[in-house]
Amino acid sequence: MNSQLQTILNNELNRQLTTLDLIASENFTSKAVREAVSSVAMHKYSEGYPGSRYYEGNEFIDQLENLCIEMSRKIFKLPQNWGVNVQPLAGSNANLIVYNAILNPGDKILSMYLPDGGHLSHGWSYGAKDEQSNFGDAKQKMVYYGGSRKVNIVSKIYNVVQYKTDPSTNLFDYDFIEQLALAEKPRLIITGGTAYPRLINYKRMKEIAHKVDAYYMADIAHEAGLIAGEALESPVGIADVITFTTHKTFRGPKGASIIAKQEIIDLVNKSVIPGMQGGPNNGTIAGITQALFEIDTQEFKSYAAQIVSNAQALAKELLSFDFKLVSGGTDKHLIVIDLRNKEIGGKFAARALNYANIVSNMNTIPYETGSPLNPSGLRIGTPSITTRGMKESEMKQLAQWINDVIAVAKEFASLDFNEFNEKIRNHPAILKIRTEVIEITKKFPLGIK
């Protein structure tokens, strides 16, 4: 390998080995997954579907894609009349593929408000019409009609209205979502997001969608591994269509899949090709297949349950340090800390933690009062540290470190960000924690070398 490239990759390997990754959407794959991704499967063009390709020479790639589909069916316990498409190149593409399959341009989508923890690929715009609502005072703030600045392509093509969480609980108010759906009559209702720490009532959302004759799509990008590992309830058989990424709790390569009733999968297949993509990444499909075999073990079920136990243990420890958690805790793998009582913004807190080799991300919180570039929240998650083998007892130590880093960082939180970096980068208390973190990474190695 080129030495300049090799050096970059070695440095990244070393970073991964010596830091604790709390980014809720990341994970570490097995060596077998990485071998599958980088296998000869990546050399092959296979536009089309098994048995019906545009190029010759696909007899083994057909077997690969069929195996991936078969394993997906098994893992998600798909009913006979449901199907799978494993070709989307990423989660955002998978969502766009679904919209293109079942909607017409200009149709209305009802999805979760981005700053509450929704996702850009469910639509996002801002501008003049912010915070308008046709509902009474109590619900005034719980709907978002978007604005003239269409940030995401989904908002450029479709008419996106978003529901927010209840300001007093940070939970979904399903009665309100129903009221909103009845008033707005969307063609598609979406659940799922990046930072909603609680369970979603799939059955209720389906009832709401069907009451207004809308499709219901569950985006389970974050929870796919927890659902596949039977730690969380599955929307299979409830939602009309389900999209997910394969690289988060799922512990596979970066990719995505769509599962749905067969009549929707028939439309999805056309939406993938010729609608939106060329050939799939066959290396990725090989990696997803290997991840599915790993999910199909008792070990993975224990792993999925441990992710949730670790997140709940970490939440409990953080509460004991007077951290405020959005919705008060978590039902799954992620926690959103509302830092306002700690007098430090999310951007500053995440950077200080990074200097202590604890990697997380700044995040908006519901009814955000800070700026998008320095929001009031910090999102943390337990998939990667659970992959390392950490358990509840390590969560106590982790909460202590988070508390200690933030206590130090808070002292410099009113400085300009560059000055803050200078003060905190080599602060003795931060360096001490960094040394301790590196020690624990050796005790819980990744085994990816």
Ligand X SMILES: Cc1ncc(COP(=O)(O)O)c(C=O)c1O
Which residues make up the interface to ligand X (CB under 6 A)? 25, 90-92, 119, 121, 192-194, 219, 221-222, 245, 256
The answer to whether the Cα torsion of 236, 117, 340, 410 is positive or negative is: positive
DSSP annotation of 17 reads H
Centroid of chain to Cα 444 = 24
- Other CB atoms within 10 A of residue 400 CB: 16
262/241 Cα distance (integer angstroms): 10
Q: How far is the CB of 96 from ligand X (least distance, A)?
A: 9
209/234 Cα distance (integer angstroms): 18
Cα dist. 272→51, 69, 179 in Å? Answer: 16, 16, 34
Q: How far is the CB of 295 from ligand X (least distance, A)?
A: 18
Q: How far is the CB of 341 from ligand X (least distance, A)?
A: 27
Q: How far is the CB of 154 from ligand X (least distance, A)?
A: 11
Using Cβ positions, the residue closest to ligand X within the complex turns out to be 91
Residue number, 53 or 247, with CB nearest to ligand X:
247
DSSP string, 33-49: HHHHHTSGGGG----EE
Q: How far is the CB of 121 from ligand X (least distance, A)?
A: 5
Q: How far is the CB of 374 from ligand X (least distance, A)?
A: 21
Residue number, 247 or 427, with CB nearest to ligand X:
247
- Other CB atoms within 10 A of residue 17 CB: 15
Residue 357: closest CA among 6, 2, 18: 18
Q: What type of residue is 228?
A: A
Q: How far is the CB of 119 from ligand X (least distance, A)?
A: 4
- Sorted by sequence, the CB contacts under 8 Å of residue 243 that are 6+ apart come out as 88, 91, 94, 95, 98, 192, 217, 218, 219, 220, 221, 256, 257, 258
Q: How far is the CB of 364 from ligand X (least distance, A)?
A: 14
Residue number, 99 or 355, with CB nearest to ligand X:
99
Residue number, 92 or 125, with CB nearest to ligand X:
92
Residue number, 244 or 348, with CB nearest to ligand X:
244
Residue number, 159 or 194, with CB nearest to ligand X:
194
- Which H or E run contains 407? helix 392-410
Residue number, 20 or 218, with CB nearest to ligand X:
218
Residue 161: closest CA among 135, 186, 141, 191: 186
Residue number, 177 or 195, with CB nearest to ligand X:
195
